[in-house]
Amino acid sequence: MNESEQIKRTTLKSANSSRFVLMILFLLISLFFHASVLAASQSRPNLEIFSKEIIQNIKQTSEVAGAMEQSLKDVISRLEKQDGLYHAAHCDSDEQDIGCDQLRAQLGETYLEMLDSMEESLPEMEHSLATTHASLEKRIYKQMGKNLTAAGLQDLVKNAKTTEMSPSLGKRALSKRVSAYYNLVRNGSPGSLSVVAAELYVDSHEVVQLLGLIREEIGRSRLMVEIGQSWGIVSPEMQNTVQGVKSILFGQDVESGKQVEKLTASAADTIYRSPLELR
């Protein structure tokens, strides 16, 4: 065997052995990674999403929403009455009538009063909701996003008891929704708490965004009314603002809250369980 052949063989050997070492290393790393994920999925940590602080936050949000509803209830109902009167008197077609001018002025004043009242209580409401939302986000991310698999989420759901009324499904007044969440958190089982947390998180995410939009809309409406000075009638934009405020605070359809179907208990003992069934 000549020297160059020997060098070739040695190089080939070392290349093979380094490839082998690399393969083993890769195998070990993937095994370690898989084992750690498997351990995470099997340990199924008990979720502790609702800290005392979050519960306190939810309670506070409910109170703030309640106070806001109360302060706006009168002014919105007055606004609606005046608007009804304005249309009943056919003021939209008779622009010269003195009575209609007075009604227009009253409408504008009441509308500004509503905007004032909203502007006063919106920041506290937004802050309270945003705090709840941020705290929930942190915990949901850590406990459900990083530490659980999709099948782990299903395990949580199986432990969840059916609630009689899902707060967001009912489209109820905001304070009632938040207070329903608060009651569910206080009395809920660990499984259903994760569902409540998810619902409250998604719901508050939407409401915070809507409140932001309404705040922008208020600024625009105020400008329009103030520039106009003649007060004018309640424009479609103003009506949208009033509807938006109403739907968030008072709910869109208070009575037609969709009842989540109450399920009768199944006779679990008599049901056949196959050894093939995954649980």
The residues that touch another protein, with contacts defined as CB under 8 A, are 34, 37-38, 40-41, 137-138, 140-141, 144-154, 156-158, 160, 162, 194-195, 197-199, 201-202, 205, 261, 263-264, 266, 271-272, 274-279
Q: Which is nearer to another protein, 82 or 192 (CB)?
A: 192
Give the Cα separation of 48 and 46 in Å (integer).
6
Q: Which is nearer to another protein, 41 or 71 (CB)?
A: 41
Residue 23: which H helix or E strand, with range?
Answer: helix 3-43
Q: Least distance in Å: CB of 156 to another protein? A: 7
Q: Which two tokens stand for residue 152?
A: 């782990």
Q: Least distance in Å: CB of 256 to another protein? A: 19
Q: Which is nearer to another protein, 57 or 82 (CB)?
A: 57
Give the Cα separation of 120 and 127 in Å (integer).
13
Q: Least distance in Å: CB of 70 to another protein? A: 30
Residue written as tokens 């069934």?
277
Q: State the first-to-last Cα distance of the chain, in angstroms, to the nearest integer.
A: 65
Q: Which is nearer to another protein, 67 or 202 (CB)?
A: 202
Q: Least distance in Å: CB of 203 to another protein? A: 10
Question: Under DSSP, is residue 260 helix (H, G, I), strand (E, B) or coil?
Answer: coil
Give the Cα separation of 279 and 272 in Å (integer).
14
